[in-house]
Each structure stands twice: as C-alpha cells, then as structure tokens.
Structure 1
Amino acid sequence: MKLQAAGKASKWFVYQKIVIVFILLLLPLISMNIWLNYKGMSVTKESILNSAAAGASFYSKQLDKEMYFIRNLQLQLLNDKDLQKLSFRGSMLEDYEEVELIDQVRDRLATLMVSSEYVVSAGVYVKDVEKTISTTTGVTNTPNKEMELISSMMAVMPKPSFYRSGDRIFLIETENNGAVWSYIEISRPKLLGALSEIAKLYPESEVLLGSREGRTILTTEPAADESTEILNHILDKPDSDQSAPETGELGGVDYFIIQNEVGSLDLSLVMYVNQNEITRPISQFITWFYTLFILAVIVMVLYSFSVNLMIHRPLSKLVKAFHMIETDNLNILIESRTKDEFHYVFNGFNRMAMKLKQSIEENYEQKIALQHSQLKQLQSQINPHFLYNSFFNVYMMCKVGDSDSAAELSQKLGSYYQYITRSGSDEVPFYTEYKHALDYCDIQGIRFSNRISYERREFADIPQGITVPRLIIQPIVENAFEHAFEDGMEEGMLYISADYREGRLRITVEDNGNLLTNEMLQRLRGKLAMDSKHVEQTGLVNVNNRLQLKYGPGSGLSVSRSVHGGLKVDLIIMIHELEEAS
C-alpha cells in the first residue's frame, strides 16, 4: 500500500516558504494597522483631554465654589452678633428684646436663603431660648420635628462634611459648645441639574457625585447599579492620578472616566462617557478600516491555503500512516516527491516501519514460540517417580482392601494427568487452574496422609471471567512438597490462598518446612531476578518468566520466609494492565 505525499518538487525548504509568505502577506496589514491606530488614538486623546476633561473640571469647580460660598455664609451666620447675644443672654432678655433679636436672625436666614439657588431652607437652633428659627417653619419651641431631625443626623460619628436624611442633604455647623446650631438644606434637584449640565457635554455621558464612604449620592444615570459600579472602579484605586482620565468597562461597553474633587462636600464628581461617542471624529477612517478588514481576510485565506498545501497535507498523510501502524498494519509505505524536510521524515518513517516489522518477527514471534515451548516442556515433565509412587500407593490400598481410598486416588490421578497432557488453549479459567493445583494437593495428601496435609482458604471476590496461563500454580505446590518436607518431617502443612484487589490477582503458597536457610532464599531470589536466557527454564523460574513475558512488569513470583517457618511464594498477575492493553 502506498500513500501519495502532497506537494511538488522544490528547491526551497518548508520553513523558508512559510517565513517568506508570512512576511510578504502581513507587512501591508501591519503597516496599515499601525497607521490607523495612531490616527485614531490621536484624535481620541485630543477629544478627551480638551473637551470632556476640561468641561467636567470647569463645572465641578463651579459647584465646589458655590458650596464653599454657602458654607462661608453659614459660618458668618453663626458669628452674627444678634445670634450670639440671643445665645448668651436668651434667658435674661425681656420679651420685647428677645423678639427683636429673633427677627434679626430671621432676616439673616432669609438673606442666606436667597443668596444661592442651591439653598432650599435655612434655620438655627438656640439652646438658651429653646427655640428653632427656620425659613420654613418660622419660630418654634423645642422639642419639635425639625430639631429632632437635625439632632438625629448630628449623632453620626465621625462628623461628616455634610449630612443626609433620605434624599435630603444638609450642611450643619455648631457654635458655643453646641449652644447654637445652624443648618442649611441643599436642593437635590438643583445639584442634579448641575450634574445634568455636565452630562450634556456628550450625548451618551453620565455624571455622578459620590464618595468611598457614602457611595453614590447623586447621579444622572437612571440605573443606579451602573453608577455604583463606575464609582467602585474609580474609588478603589486610591493611588491613581485623579486628574488623568481612566478607562473602564461596564456591561460590555467601554467608558472614559473623568474624576474631579468637590472639596467643600468631600465628594468626587465622576463623569463617564461611552468611548464610541468620543471616537466619533474618527468616522472618516471607517472606509480605511473596512478596507483593512477585507485585506486581512484575504491574507488569512491565502496564508491558510499555503500552510495547508505545504504542511497540513503532508502531516495528514503521516498521521494517517501512524494510525494504520496502531492497528498493527505494518505493510505501509509513504512515497515522497519533494526534496524538503518531509522527504527525510517520510523516508525515516518508512525505515522505522520496516525495522518495526522485522523486530516483531524476530523478537515478538520468538517470545511467543518460547512460551509455547516452555508450556510443552512443563507438560512433558511428568515425574516418573511421582507416577510410580502413585501406582504403588494404589496397589497397596487395593492390597489392604482400602478400595475407597484407591478409587479416590485413581480418580485424582486421572484428572491430574488429563489436565497436564491435553492440548488446546494456553489460557484456562482461573478456577480450573486453581482446582488442578488442589487435585495435586489431594493426591499428595492421600500419599502422605500420615505426615503431610494442606489447608486452603476460601475466597469469593475473584471475578469468574479471569483467565490465566496453564500450569502456573501446580509447579509452586509441587516445589513445596519436593523440597520443604524431604527430611521426612511429621505434621507438614501446606497453605494455599488467593485474593483479587483492584486488578491485581495474587495466589499465595506457604509451608512450615524447616529446611529453608537464608542462603537458599537469597539464591532463589537471584534466579528469579536474572534474565530468562541465563537460568534453567524449569519450576519456579519458568513460571516467573512466563508471567513477566505475558503480563509485563509487576507480574511474576516473589519469595520470602513464611510466618510458619518455611517458604512463602506469592504469584502476582496484574490483570488490569492486560485489560487496558486490549
């Protein structure tokens, strides 16, 4: 099978083509983009600095001056001689003189009220005469609602620059240790009107008056949440330059934000303008923008086509070839007609596929053959002494008339030899292999019933569908019977168990023999750790090599000293690794 690689013969390398095409196509786009951005930013900055910033600053200063003017009138009122006389001598004055002084104070309050359009009402409270003098309620004895309102606002600590009661705004000052209060209510509609005058600088602009502590006091924006978010944006940057415009985003819309201080009220006047309104003067560049956009689209199409032709198509052929190798199809060859880097890559791939195929044929197939030969070797290793001794045991049982034991031993021998001599699949269900090992233990238990027995532990957590290689447990059990009890010890015991956890199958065989020395244990460990080419392929070593070859690292045999005194062999199979590989 052959795959045709895209492209024609060329003396250029791929990376040279990509670099040259990229530079030639993007140079006009980059140049026009820089020029357009420069012009747009110049006009925008000029518009913001010369119009919005200057206008907002002018109106905020006018408002600040007006509030300072009102505060100065309030302080002058507190120092008025008639009010001072009324405060110090109120309780000692004659009625006529008290009325005269109150009229003088009322005249001063009326003058203060008409001095500024921002003043709604003005009033004083004189403690010594227990009266409030107001432009709205006149002269009223205390306590009264007006005094209670002012008193509740004055309880705020620390003392603010102005006081609020709902939507009403007050300027409150005291004199003579609280013996005289002066309070002026500022017109909220007039303040809002002043903010609206600033907002008229641009059609889509809004103005708010607020502070970090009191948040938004007044705003021309109908949606209060929007003005609050703008105020948070500007006031949460205490180190920012308040004289310089900032940018912010709200609801997906970009704004220019201009902040000015109104020191008389300790507030910030913030104007925010939709950037689209600011950038209207650059509408003359819209035609150039669309031209640039169309050019960018053309550039991207041409660039994409060139990359697809020179890189994507050859790589797609290479990826498809790798996918075919993943499906074990090694009869593949990529033909290259170019003389660039892909020519080297394709030839390297072809060489890799050929070497991989050869490696599988020489190594993998040899290992598979080795498994079959090792299994056949085990099947052929029928111990004649075991067979002779078993027949002799049957003979002696018949001789003494123990027909039941003779029948049981004959049945076990038949099942045993049928299992190890039959041909068929190299893998069998785990429970079949485990039963074969138990049959061997039963045979040995009958033969040496007077001195050797075995004990198995029940298990119920091993899945029924698990299969294992044939003849991997019986050699371990046979090794214990041959070597652990060859000194003729009495009460020999063999222990066999199995468990399964998280894809890990373990079969454990232990004995209580007393012939195992530390040197023997170390030699056995060394044989299990050696390469299969350098050790004899029988018994425990054979089983260990077969498991490692089939299931990979983590599987095999491990030996240690049993708690019963003899040898402990753990047979481990990593079932989950095999399932993931399949």
Structure 2
Amino acid sequence: MKSLRSRIIIIIVSFSLLIALTVAFLSFNISMRYLTESQRQSSYINVQLLGNEVDSELNTILSFCNRLELDSAVENYLTNVPAVRNESITAYHRLSMDVWNHLNDEYRLNPSHDLISRFMVATPDGEDFLHIAIVQNNTTVELADSVISAPFFKELLYSEDYRYTGFTTSPVNNRENIRIMPIVRPVRRFTSPDIIGFIYVEVSDELILRHLNNLNLPADSELYFTFEDGNSFRCVDRSLEKTDLPKGLVTYTLPGKNISVSVLPSGSELRNRTVFYLLIIVAVIMFIILTGAVIYILLKKIINDPVDALILKLKKVGNGDFSRDPAIEWDNELGEIGRGINSLSYNVDALFQAKLKDERERQALEYRILQSQINPHFMYNTLNTIKWMASIQGADGIADMSTALSRLLKNVSKVADPLIPLKDEIALLNDYFTIMKYRYGGTIELSYEIEDDDLMTCLVNRFSLQPVVENAIFHGIEPRGSAGSIDICVYSKDERLCIDVSDNGVGMDEEAIERLFSADETSSNDFFKEVGVANVNSRIKFSFGEEYGLSAESVPGEGTTIHYILPIKRK
C-alpha cells in the first residue's frame, strides 16, 4: 500500500507537470495565434497603404481619360478629320496640329503623366489618329492598326466601364518588351450614342513598381497584384511576372475596382518570433516546475513528522494503549483530528436541532399573532348571550355589534388555518366594519368592486384586509373630521390576484409610507394590537414568496391606496 507521503509526492509532481504542460500548450497556441494575427495585420496595413497609393494615381489617370472622352476638341477632331483630310491637306495638318497641342497640354497638366507611356485618340477604323508617347517608335503609320488588332481591344472598347486586364506587352512597341496596362474607352457624340472614335492609353508598370521602395516588407515576403479574369502578377526585382496565386495571402482590394493587392507574409519573421516566444514559454515552465519542487520540500517538512507521530500513536492504540498523548495535539489541523471530531459532530447536531426548533417556533408565532390574552371562547359565548338579550329588548344595533364581534372572536380562535378563501376574509372584514360603522355613527362607508366572482375562492391570509381597513379609518378618515369612504377593488392581472384598498382620507407623505411598512409599525386598535400593515406584508411574503406583498400609493389631502399582489391559489 502506498504511503501518504508517496501519494503527496505523486500528486505534487503530477500537478506541477500538468500545470506546466497546460500552460505550455495554451501559451504556445495563444502566442502563435497572436503572432500570426499580428503579422497578418501588419501585412494588411502595408498592402493597404500600397493599394491606396496605386489607387490614387490610377484615379488621376482615369480622370484624364474621362476628360478626353468629354473634350469638345477631341469630338470635333474625330467628327471632322476624314472630311477635312479629303478636302485639304493643309487644313488637315492644321486641325491635327491644333488638337495635338491641346492634347499635349492636357497630358502635361496631368499629375501622373509620367505613368502614361503612350496615349492615342483615333477614329474607329484607325486611319486618322493623334498620339503622344514617352518612347517614340521608328514609324507611326500602323500604330492605330496595331492597337485595333490587339486581343484586348474589343473587350475593353465595348465594356460599360473601365476594365483592368493586367499588364501585357505593348502592341505598338513589342520589340522592347515593354509591359503596360492598356485602357481603351470609346468616344461618342455629345448628341448621340454613336461611337466616333476611341481613346487608347498605355499605363506604365511604374504605376506599381515605383511605390515598392516605400513598402516595408521582409525580404522573403511575396507581393502580388490581381486583375480581372484572374490575371495575377508577382513583383520580382522591380518587374512583374505573371503567375498563379499561392495560399495564405493577405489581400486588399482597391475601392470600386477589380484590382487587389496581396502579400504572402514572411515565414522567417514568424519563425524568429516563434523561437522568442518558445524561449519565454520554456522559462515559464521551468519556473512552474521549480515552484512545485519548493512546495514539495516544504510540505514534506511540515507533514512528514506529524504523520509519523500519528502513525506511531495508531500503532499504540492497536496494541491497546488508549492513553492521552499530548505530543500529537499540535496547534494545526492535524492536531485537531484527534480531539475535535466528536466535539464537532456534537456541536453540529445541537446547532441543527436548535435551528429546526427556532424555525418551528417562528412559524407558530406567525400564525398565533392574532390570539388575544383574553379567552376567545368565553367571550364568544358571553357575546351570544348579550345578542339574544338585545334582540329581546329591541336593541338591534347592540345585537348587530355583538353578532359581528362574536364572529370575529370565533375566527381569531381558528389560527390553525392561516389561509382562507377571499370571500371568508371579506365576511370577517364586514363583521369588523359593522362594529366600526356603529362606532362612527354611520359616517364611513365600505364598497366592493369584484371583477370576477371566481376570484372570491382564491386563498388569502386570514385577517389580511382588516388591518389595512383599520389603518384607513384611524389614520386616513378620522383625522379628516368628516364622512369618508373605503373602496375595495378585486381583479386579476398577469395571472395574479390584485386587491386595491382605497380611502379618501388625509393621505400620507413618503416618510409616513416608510413608517407604515416598518417593523415597528403596529395597529392602533388595542384588541388587534399585534397586527399592523407591516405584519400583513410579512405574512404574505412568508406564505407565498418574496415577489408578493403590499405596496402603497398616496397623495396628501386626497387619499391612500394599498395594493395587494397575491398568487391565484385555491384549495
């Protein structure tokens, strides 16, 4: 059988290793996720900056193209040049030179004109055209024909909007293998949709390449540009090579254009950061293991000697030595094992019994609070005798009051049944009000408004209405010094029984309402001196739960309403 010490050693070592491995696993995964996300976020910021720079210059070029489409000089040239050429060579050259100078001025005013390696304005058949280029050809006769015969020409010409097919070899300067991005737009008459010519623009690959120096990317990162139809290009040594896209790219798409900039994050940078974080994780693991070793040494010193002494004592007990050994009564938990278990068991049992007894007494007291110090049965029999004598002598008022009081006393004696139907509670209230009505000479009135007779069978606390009505009489109507009325409304709301007791007395302020529900509040009637509004509220909560009870609304000088919230519960 393994000793306690061996088990403690195994537990400590296992726990330390478990914590170390858990921390290592979680730390590695969290750090790798953080590193990857951080690197991808950094890469996204870089390509976003690059993309915005490219987008800004491309928008400038597109604005230049848009101006040419709407330029009246361009429209005039394309509309009239065939006829002018046939009529007069001199007029033809003059028209061409004037428009060419105008186009050259527009070209030079464009902030990104150095990115436009060539642009051309030509008639649909290419017979008449004007062109401006940074690098001139040896011959310009067939320039327009070369553009028209290019494979991309018709697709771009008849596209509803600008299309970006990527970089390709210039169709008019293919001997120098110059890569350009072509832009072709139709020119229409201002007054009709007829195409009267086209604009051809060659955008240099410097649109992208000249921004690479400002890009802060590691050496082994790869940068890609993707255009429409999936044409992708990789930036290699200040040149663009057409290629397929790899996986794991971080991509930014230019706003409103089918052009995206992508970067393949650096693998070496991620590896370097991973090694750094792994070193930190190893240091944390070593610290945890070292801490576990220190804890083991301390526990061994603290527990070993007491456990050896307890084992020795148990052996003595097994040999029949039941004498008290003060040496094992240390001032710690192990010292309490021998002398505290029996005392603890006894104390817990005594405390439980005392708690149970207190709870029973509290419940009994809650339902005995209506008992008077007089004998209710004796008073009940005596009042019946008075009733009959008053009836014989024709004193109907005395007979009514005696009858009402006797029924009250009879119900007081039935404290064993704390919950009664609402109709019985209202009957008790009527008996009480009969006495009060004679006392005040008929100057107070009590009325009822019952939404549904079925609600009269709902259970309520015995003597839960009388204290509230009593409070309305003594503290609401009586100080007023004139006749008053009390209205009781019974209705259901949200599957709950609601009772409103309203009076037209003097009302109360907030401070008086707080006193009404305080624990020290009691009834002003000597017979029911232990039963007040606060007591009724407490009994409702005790019987049905904390979500039920009383609340009050009052306007000084106008009256008070006490709201009852009870569950709809029947026998």
Q: TM-score with structure 1 length normalisation? A: 0.39
Q: Which has the higher contact order (CA 8 A, sep 6+)?
A: 1
Q: TM-score with structure 2 length normalisation? A: 0.39
